[in-house]
Amino acid sequence: AQTVTQSQPEMSVQEAETVTLSCTYDTSESDYYLFWYKQPPSRQMILVIRQEAYKQQNATENRFSVNFQKAAKSFSLKISDSQLGDAAMYFCAYSMLDSNYQLIWGAGTKLIIKP
C-alpha cells in the first residue's frame, strides 16, 4: 500500500530558530513528486515546496528547504528563521503518474512557534 508517515504529530520551535519536520513514504515507483503543504488556522491548503523524485538537488523556497533522501524514502522539511506566521499544520504528500497524480497524504504535523 502507498503510505506517507509523519511521525511528529506536533512540533514547537522558538521564533527565529530552525525546525525540521519529518516525512517518510512508501512507493515502489521511481518517478513521483513530493510536496509539502501548509494549512494555517484559516484552513487554506497552501503549497510550500515541491520536489521531483528524478532530481537529486534538494528544492528550496526562501526559508523553506527539503532534505530528499530517495533511497531512504525520506522527505523532510526544514524551516529556517521561523516566524509566527509559520504556525500551521504541515502535510507531506506525493503523487505518481501511475495513480493519475492522485495525492497521497500524511496525517500532518502541527507546528507551534513560540514568541
Partner 1 sequence: DADVTQTPRNRITKTGKRIMLECSQTKGHDRMYWYRQDPGLGLRLIYYSFDVKDINKGEISDGYSVSRQAQAKFSLSLESAIPNQTALYFCATGSGTQPQHFGDGTRLSIL
- Under the rule (CB under 8 A), what is the footprint of partner 1? 4, 9, 33, 35, 42-47, 50, 52, 91, 93, 97, 100-103, 105-108
**Complex with partner 1: residue 33 or 64, whichever CB lies closer:** 33
Residue among 17 and 26 whose Cβ is closer to partner 1: 26
CB of 54 to partner 1, least distance (A): 11
What does DSSP say about strands 10-14 and 74-79: parallel, antiparallel, or unpaired? unpaired
Pairing of strands 10-14, 109-114: parallel
Nearer to partner 1, 16 or 45 (CB): 45
46 neighbors 39 (Cβ within 8 angstroms): yes
Nearest-angstrom CA–CA distance, 85 and 73: 29
CB 104, min distance to partner 1, A: 9
Place of cell 524514502: 73
